[in-house]
Amino acid sequence: MEAVSPTFEDLPPPVHVAIIMDGNGRWAKARGLPRVAGHQRGAEAVRTTVESCKSIGIKYLTLYAFSSENWKRPATEVDDLMGLLRHYLSREINQLNKSGVRLRCIGERQGLAPDIIRLIDEAESKTGGNTGLTLQIAVNYGGQNEILNACRSIASEVADGKLSIDEIDDEAFADHLHTAGVPDPDLLIRTSGEKRLSNFLLWQAAYAELVFVDTLWPDFTKDELLRVIDEFHSRDRRYGNTSG
Ligand code: IPE
Ligand code: IPE
Ligand code: MG
């Protein structure tokens, strides 16, 4: 195990970590396996990462599981990914609930299979009162669409006289996003060496520290997470101010 620098021991962990879990397909390809094998191993990495975040004391974890653009993939791969989601929501929920995890799904429900919507609703209501880690899974999620929907809903509240134009500030806007009530991510990690956001948390990531690692998602471990948190602690978060 790699040594963790003393800074990490002394400093509180980031409150909210968001992860673009990328590289499952390349992980499988490198082993001559079908892409679904990469997604299965990716689901294992989700389990360990949830455990790691709990043990480190992270309060919010947001995982990008399926983007609104991922429907473009071959139908068989979409089916495999939806099957893994079904499996996760039905088989893991009791364990997650027992360990105090509050699960929420962000993204558009519309477009998902009815049984998946039901599983999401059940998981959210079952775990809604938990106060441990809040795990947000982004499914059929796209940041631009989320912002557009917030604009539509704000516009209709203004039209109905429920909200005045002057009341539309950053807080009111954030209240209309899927992530309402959850603080913005402090740390946003993308695996697999790609350096883009791919429509993830476009509003919320305004001041997130971005860390890109070459590791493919199925190989992402707690040690690597600790190294990324070390990197986070070495950053000077100025928020537009001068450094103190
Ligand atoms: C991430 O791995 C999982 C999803 C996007 C659902 P990919 O499937 O994108 O893997 P690569 O990028 O092809 O290696
Ligand atoms: C982003 O990965 C979406 C998820 C991790 C769910 P993609 O693999 O879909 O992103 P692009 O296509 O490389 O931008
Ligand atoms: Mg990818």
Over the stretch 93-147, which tens digit does the pLDDT of each residue have? 999 999 999 999 999 999 999 999 999 999 999 999 999 999 999 999 999 999 9
| Catalytic sites, residue numbers | 22, 70
pLDDT surpasses 70 at 7: no
Sheet holding 60-67, edge to edge: 102-106, 134-141, 60-67, 16-20, 187-190, 209-212
C-alpha span between 82 and 127 (Å, rounded): 21
Note the pLDDT of residue 2. Answer: 54
Is residue 8 included in any domain, yes or no? no
The alpha carbon of 7 and the centre of ligand 3 are apart by a number of angstroms equal to 32
Enclosing domain of residue 66: 13-232
If you ran DSSP here, which 8-state letter would residue 220 be given?
Answer: -
Over the stretch 210-226, which tens digit does the pLDDT of each residue have? 999 999 999 999 999 99
- Find how far residue 179's CA is from the centre of its chain: 10
Q: Which residues pair with 210 in a beta bridge?
A: 188
The alpha carbon of 22 and the centre of ligand 3 are apart by a number of angstroms equal to 5
Residue to substitute in 21, 26, 213 for testing ligand 1 pocket (most ligand atoms within 8 angstroms of CB): 26
Is residue 86 included in any domain, yes or no? yes
Is residue 237 included in any domain, yes or no? no
Q: Which amino acid is at 47?
A: R
Question: Does 199 sit in the ligand 1 pocket, CB within 6 Å?
Answer: no
Is residue 238 included in any domain, yes or no? no
Question: Does 81 sit in the ligand 1 pocket, CB within 6 Å?
Answer: yes
- Percent of the chain past pLDDT 90, that is, above it, reads 95
Q: What is the dihedral of CA 219, 222, 208, 157, to 10 degrees?
A: 90
Mean model confidence pLDDT for the chain: 96
Alpha helices (H) along the chain: 6-10, 24-30, 35-56, 75-91, 93-98, 114-127, 143-159, 170-174, 222-234
Residue to substitute in 19, 70, 137 for testing ligand 2 pocket (most ligand atoms within 8 angstroms of CB): 70
Is residue 241 included in any domain, yes or no? no
**What DSSP line would sit under 144-187, residue for residue?**
HHHHHHHHHHHHHHHHTTSS-GGG--HHHHHTTSTTTTSPPPSE
Question: Does 26 sit in the ligand 1 pocket, CB within 6 Å?
Answer: yes
pLDDT surpasses 70 at 9: no
The alpha carbon of 202 and the centre of ligand 2 are apart by a number of angstroms equal to 14
**Tokens found for residue 18:** 């968001």
Give the total number of structural domains in the chain. 1
Is residue 25 included in any domain, yes or no? yes
What CATH number does the domain containing 56 carry?
3.40.1180.10
- Percent of the chain past pLDDT 70, that is, above it, reads 96
Q: Atom 3 of ligand 1 has which residue's CA nearest to it?
A: 22
Over the stretch 35-58, which tens digit does the pLDDT of each residue have? 999 999 999 999 999 999 999 999
